[in-house]
Amino acid sequence: MCAYLYPSKYFMKQLRQEYLANIESDRVGAAKDMAVAKEYIKNSTATFTRGQLSMMAMPKMHTPRSFEVVQKALETTHSILSKIIERYLTDAELQAMFPFADKLKQLILLPKQYAQNLPICRLDIFLDEESLDFKFCEFNADGASAMNEDREIYNAWKNSQLYAKMGQTHQIRSFELFDSWVQSFADLYKEYLQTKKVKKNVGKPTIAIVDFLDIGTKSEFGVFAKAFEKAGYTCVIEDITTLRYDGKVLTNKDGCKIDAIYRRAVTSECMDKYDTIKPFLQAVRDDAVCLIGAFRTQVIHDKNLFRLLRDPYIKALLTKEENDFVEQHIPKTYKLEYGQYDKIAVLNHKDKWLIKPSDRYGSFDVHTGGDYTDMEWYEVIAKYEGKGFVLQEYCPPYRTQDLYFDDSDQPVVGNYGYMTGCFLYNGTLKGLYTRCMLRRTTTQKDEGRVTCSVVCTPKQAKN
């Protein structure tokens, strides 16, 4: 007889049920596991934008089938987004459809240093774990983060008895998101040198990870820096406002020449603080440094793209299959401006809608109609109408029973929804990231929690 028998269609919910049964069989041991894991996280390099990282007791366990479905869909998405960026660079009519200020548009249209239009991104989806259908939440480009959250939560979990017990019946695969980015970055830099016709024996570049360090996730940058250094590169972490440029060479404040930049400073911050980063911007304009990623990624980062994907002009640029994909997976989106949406319908069916800024990050200023009374929703719409916000179809996340252990090591069970972040490097899906929510959004104030993501493959049956 076989030790373990699995149906041909093995679903994520079965993995979850098995894990919950393991917790139930030894609650005391599970509580000890979580106490050790929480202590690890407390002293780890993982940070959350608005406070202490809060982890669930159970990882998000994907089956090989669910990962394969997501992989195919997200790589298709990357192809569509790259096509739109490419067309934007030469199409004045398409350029006019985006609300970019002239100074940003000029940066977007700078000559390409490498062919890849979207080197790094995190595309966030709401995945139905049974049907494996999904809707997009948002697209994040160069400033995409949380690789280290997934890594550290996995590290906190992998030495537990719960992990060991799950490992008796499954091969467990985590996601490596640092060395793989170093290799992707190196491939782009090699292409950059070829376009510049630089000889191959120039040696390895000095790389700067740049952001506004008062708001950037410096601990995550440190992990990336170590990965670059392990591969033989010199890597520095720099505040983008302190870079210096003499008309030929970009340096840091200590005079170290910078050859290539991993830009973590999101474009909206760069535009808001434009006058503080002029040396960096001039070096980019002069092609004095290799910038990964370039400002052209803003074309897909701006949430106006969600509504434009259904515009007849953009639809004409896509194939029938691509348009069908958009129709199935992109929530309906409109400008929150007078005359651009059916206001009566939105007010009368508030639970079906949310509003969000067209160009912000971190779930700031996201408002879902279901969180408000009719009068409050009317006031929210009035407050943000005409202020650079979009109105979007609310896509309820898939929900199921999940739990964490509180400060007293007691299990707290809730009906959680999930958002899956999908990291793609040069168009290839490299890993997943999971945020969990009791309410309608994923912010910390809305009881948002995090867990690591893994793929669990049933071990071969034993005769």
Which pLDDT score, from 0 to 100, does residue 365 have? 81
215: pLDDT confidence band, cut at 50, 70 and 90?
A: confident
pLDDT score for 2: 36
The angle at the Cα of 76, spanning 104 to 449, to the nearest 5 degrees, equals 75
Q: What percent of the chain has pLDDT over 90?
A: 79
User: Helices 147-157 and 27-42 sit at what angle, rounded to 10 degrees?
Assistant: 140
Task: Decide: 149 and 436 in contact? Cβ < 8 Å.
Answer: no
How confident is residue 1, by pLDDT bands cut at 50, 70 and 90? very low
For residues 233-245, average pLDDT: 97
195/179 Cα distance (integer angstroms): 25
Looking at residue 439, what is its pLDDT?
74
How far is Cα 79 from Cα 100, in angstroms, rounded to an integer?
A: 23
| pLDDT band for position 49 (cuts 50, 70, 90) | low
Q: Output the pLDDT for position 438.
A: 84
Please say if the pLDDT value at position 203 is more than 90: no
Range ranked top by mean pLDDT from 43-57, 326-340, 360-374: 326-340
Residue 133 makes CB contacts below 8 A (sequence gap 6+) with 127, 328
> Does residue 129 register a pLDDT over 80?
yes
In the numeric block, the tokens 């990964």 are attached to 292
pLDDT at 8: 42
d(CA 294, CA 106): 12
For tokens 């520095």, name the residue.
236
CB 66 within 8 A of CB 132: yes
Contact status, residue 453 vs residue 147, Cβ threshold 8 Å:
no
**Cα–Cα distance for residue pair 77/14, rounded to 1 Å:** 28
| pTM for this predicted structure | 0.92
pLDDT at position 195, please?
85
pLDDT band at 342 (very low <50, low <70, confident <90, very high): very high
- What pLDDT score was predicted for residue 217? 78
> Who wins on pLDDT, 440 or 83?
83
DSSP state of 51: B
Categorize the per-residue pLDDT at 407 as very low, low, confident or very high, splitting at 50, 70 and 90.
confident
Residues sharing a CB contact under 8 Å with residue 45, sequence separation 6 or more, in sequence order: 148, 152, 219, 220, 222, 223
CA distance from start to end of the chain: 5
Please determine, for residue 199, whether its predicted confidence score (pLDDT) is greater than 60.
Answer: no
| Cβ proximity of 359 and 98 under 8 Å | no
The pLDDT of residue 37 is: 93
pLDDT at 463 over 50: no
Report which of residues 78 and 202 the model is more confident about: 78
| pLDDT average, residue stretch 292-318 | 95
Name the average pLDDT for the chain: 90
Q: Select the highest-mean-pLDDT range: 42-56, 195-209, 210-224, 290-304.
A: 290-304
Rg (C-alpha) for the chain, rounded Å, is: 23
Range with lowest mean pLDDT among 84-98, 243-257, 396-410:
396-410
User: If 0-12 CB within 10 Å is exposed, 13-18 middle and 19+ buried, where does residue 373 land?
Assistant: exposed
Per-residue pLDDT at 285: 97
pLDDT score of 309 more than 50 = yes
pLDDT of residue 202: 59
Q: What is the pLDDT of residue 359?
A: 73
Res 34 pLDDT > 70: yes
421's CB contacts (< 8 A; 6+ apart) are 122, 123, 124, 140, 146, 432, 433, 434, 435
The partner residues of 403 in beta bridges, in order of sequence, read 413
pLDDT above 50 (res 357): yes
- Count Cβ atoms below 10 Å from residue 362 Cβ, excluding itself: 15
Structure tokens at 417: 């929804």
Q: How does 157-181 read in b/e, with b if 16+ C-beta sit within 10 Å? A: bbebebbebbeebbebebbebbebb
271 vs 406, higher pLDDT: 271
